[in-house]
């Protein structure tokens, strides 16, 4: 586990939170996450497994497993992947 934690040492808690947020978004690809933060798909899975409660992780894995929108290579050629902007789902009072 220590070697996995070392992969995330360059990331702030805010970065980790953004990665988790982006991983939950259906249209944000794993490739986008890797290009923005240098975190691969297996590392995102590890991060989600270790930062979410078990039931939330299982629900997330069911959502993303085989989801075409999470992988650029699986998308239809006409489907844009303009997923480089972070969606802001926060409420004004947060």
- Does residue 70 lie in a domain region? yes
| pLDDT for 72 | 60
Give the residue, 80 or 54, on which the prediction is more confident: 54
Q: How confident is residue 25, by pLDDT bands cut at 50, 70 and 90? A: confident
- Does residue 35 lie in a domain region? yes
Per the structure, the complete domain to which residue 18 belongs is given by 13-74
Average pLDDT, the chain: 78
- Does residue 61 lie in a domain region? yes
Number of domains forming the structure of the chain: 1
Per-residue model confidence as pLDDT tens digits over 28-71:
888 889 988 999 999 999 999 999 999 999 999 988 886 666 65
| pLDDT for 46 | 94
Q: What is the DSSP string of 36-89?
A: HH---HHHHHHHHHHHS-HHHHHHHHHHHTT-GGG-GGGS-TTS-----SPP--
- Does residue 3 lie in a domain region? no
CA angle 24/25/26 to nearest 5° reads 110
- Does residue 49 lie in a domain region? yes
């Amino acid at each position: 586990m220590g070697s996995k934690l070392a992969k995330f040492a360059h990331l702030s808690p805010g970065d980790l939170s953004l990665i988790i947020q982006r991983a939950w978004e259906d249209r944000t690809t794993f490739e986008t996450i890797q290009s923005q933060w240098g975190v691969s798909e297996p590392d995102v899975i590890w991060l989600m497994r270790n930062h979410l409660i078990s039931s939330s992780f299982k629900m997330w894995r069911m959502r993303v497993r085989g989801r075409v929108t999470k992988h650029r290579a699986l998308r239809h050629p006409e489907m844009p992947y303009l997923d480089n902007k972070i969606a802001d789902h926060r409420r004004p009072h947060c």
